[in-house]
Amino acid sequence: MAHRHHHHTHTEGILTLDALAARSGLRGVSPGLKMVFSVGSLLLCVGAADPVVGAAVACSMAAIIWLLSKVPLDRLLRLLRLPLVFLSVGCLVILLEFTRNPIGLWQLHLGGRWLCVTVQSLERAVTLLFQAMGAVCCLFFLSTSTPMPQLIEVLRKCRLPELMIELMYLIYRYLFVLLEVQRQMTVAASARLGYDGWRRSLTTAGKISGGLLASSFRRSSACFDAMEARGYEGRLTFLCRTPKLRWPHVLAAAVYFMLLTLLILIRKRGIAL
């Protein structure tokens, strides 16, 4: 049962981001601009290495995702939960120091040694937490507002090799086809008690992976026939209309970058407002 649950959440993860992007309030904004905006903010956030800047980026991005990209708040919080848990655990390790003598802000005696939190370790952990959350929010902004096909078209414009572009299209397409096959096989297997107990779950999952590979091979030749039937001659091209670059959007992104840079300067130079 636990395993089935795991499968489901995993499937939903990919589908959720994809569905959110398809319905996003920002789907009419140029994907190139969104990519520059997201990656630019990410670099500033990571480069600044400052908790206030990180928190500002994380909060502003979350607000943009919620208010402009129109992702429901509960969905957004659920999306953020996973990286937050992961980062918290990671930062906890950095927060705690193992020493011979009790030092710093907080200590715990542990069999002759001391588990301590120092000012430096606290600062390091908090900085890392916010820095990373800011970066995660930047990427979530991109993935919840930009449908994958548009993203691939941007990469094509960036002169990525044609082969990689075609592979990305095919992988993206067949991800959903194979997920559906996998889901059906999993349901069929659990209907025959294939997920009864840990050991059997493992064997069943292995068999399903094998079955998936076999069915992929069979499918690939059928797909190739279908491609040839429509005159495929070795170049995969589709009509793809991506939203155009609009000046108000560029202006908005520029203002955001300027405010962010200002904040970084204030923090680094200690300029008081």
Partner 1 sequence: MTEPILQLEHVSYTYPDGPLAVEDLSVSIEKGERVAVLGRNGAGKSTFFLLCNGILEPSAGTIRCGGKVLTRNKKDLTELRRRVGIVFQEAENQILAVTVEGEVSFGPMNLGLPLSEVERRTAEALDRMGLGEYGDRSPQYLSGGEKKRVTIADILAMEPDVILLDEPTASLDPENVVRLEETLDQLTQAGIALVVSTHDVDFAARFARRGLVFSRGKLVADGSLESIFSRQELLEEAGLRKPWLWQAAEALRPGEASYPMTMEQFTRWRETAG
Residue of 14, 16, 17, 1 lying closest to 140 (CA atoms): 17
- Residue matched to tokens 């068999």: 207
Mark 72-91 as b/e (b = at least 16 C-beta within 10 Å). Answer: eeeebeebbeebeeebeeeb
Least distance between partner 1 and beta carbon 251 (Å): 26
Query: Does 170 sit near partner 1 (CB under 8 A)?
Result: yes
CA 174 to each of CA 149, 154, 177: distance values in angstroms, whole numbers, following the listed order: 13, 20, 5
Amino acid present at 84: L
Binding mask 14-53 for partner 1 (x = CB under 8 A): ----xx--x-------------------------------
Q: Residue 163, exposed/middle/buried by CB under 10 A (0-12, 13-18, 19+)?
A: exposed
Binding mask 129-158 for partner 1 (x = CB under 8 A): ------------------xxx--x------
The answer for residues whose C-beta is within 8 angstroms of residue 55's C-beta and 6 or more apart is 130, 133, 134
Q: Which window, 38-46, 106-114, 123-131, 169-177, contacts partner 1 (CB under 8 A)?
A: 169-177
Residue placing its CB nearer to partner 1 in the complex, 24 or 131 = 24
Query: Does 162 sit near partner 1 (CB under 8 A)?
Result: no
Residue placing its CB nearer to partner 1 in the complex, 123 or 225 = 225
Compute how many residues bind partner 1; rule: CB under 8 A.
Answer: 33
Question: What residues pair up with 117 in beta bridges, in sequence order?
Answer: 106
Residue placing its CB nearer to partner 1 in the complex, 77 or 236 = 236
Binding mask 227-256 for partner 1 (x = CB under 8 A): xxxxxxx-xxxxxxx---------------
Q: Which window, 36-44, 82-90, 200-208, 221-229, contacts partner 1 (CB under 8 A)?
A: 221-229
CA 227 to each of CA 177, 222, 224: distance values in angstroms, whole numbers, following the listed order: 16, 9, 5
DSSP state, 68? I
Q: Which residues are near partner 1 by CB under 8 A?
A: 18-19, 22, 147-149, 152, 169-170, 172-173, 176-177, 180, 219, 222-223, 225-233, 235-241
